Amino acid sequence: MDRTEVVRDLRRNMSHAEKLLWTVLRGHRMLGLKFRRQEWVCGYVADFLCASLRVVIEVDGEYHRAFRARDARRDSRMRAHGYYVIRLKNDDVERNLQQVVQDLTHALQRMIPKRSRTGQAHQ
């Protein structure tokens, strides 16, 4: 499978939690930011990417518990290339989406340059 086929397959087979979060992130719905799903970043496929802020959001299920060391290496590589990685648990997204959205909103607001938030340059 080539890279395009890999991400197409991942998009078609998103977890329930990923689908829920995508309904919040897609179409500039969160703070007007553009997110892409299942996007290549540093040789890995990120669940969600906001390229303008260099933010990666990963939604982890039971599968990731067995691969914590691998995930840590992946996160480290992304951070070394200037990406900020946010990891969410499937259970949190599925059981308390409203709180997850609130937490994400607060985290992302801190990353948006002041000029973008106010429409004016910070003085």
> What are the pLDDT digits (tens) for 26-44?
999 999 999 999 999 999 9
Q: Is the pLDDT of residue 10 over 60?
A: yes
Q: How many domains does the chain have?
A: 1
CB 27 within 8 A of CB 14: no
In tens, the pLDDT along 45-85 reads 999 999 999 999 999 886 655 577 888 899 999 999 999 99
Q: Is residue 32 part of a domain?
A: yes
Q: Is residue 64 part of a domain?
A: yes
CB 35 within 8 A of CB 26: yes
**Residues 6 or more apart from 18 whose CB is under 8 A from it?**
37, 47, 59, 93
Q: Is residue 82 part of a domain?
A: yes
Q: Is residue 53 part of a domain?
A: yes
Q: Is residue 52 part of a domain?
A: yes
Q: Is residue 87 part of a domain?
A: yes
Q: Any idea what the CATH number is for the domain that residue 102 is in? A: 3.40.960.10
Q: Which domain holds residue 17?
A: 3-113
Q: Which residues pair with 49 in a beta bridge?
A: 36, 56
Q: Is residue 103 part of a domain?
A: yes
Confidence (pLDDT) at 121: 41
Q: Is residue 45 part of a domain?
A: yes
Q: Is the pLDDT of residue 97 over 50?
A: yes
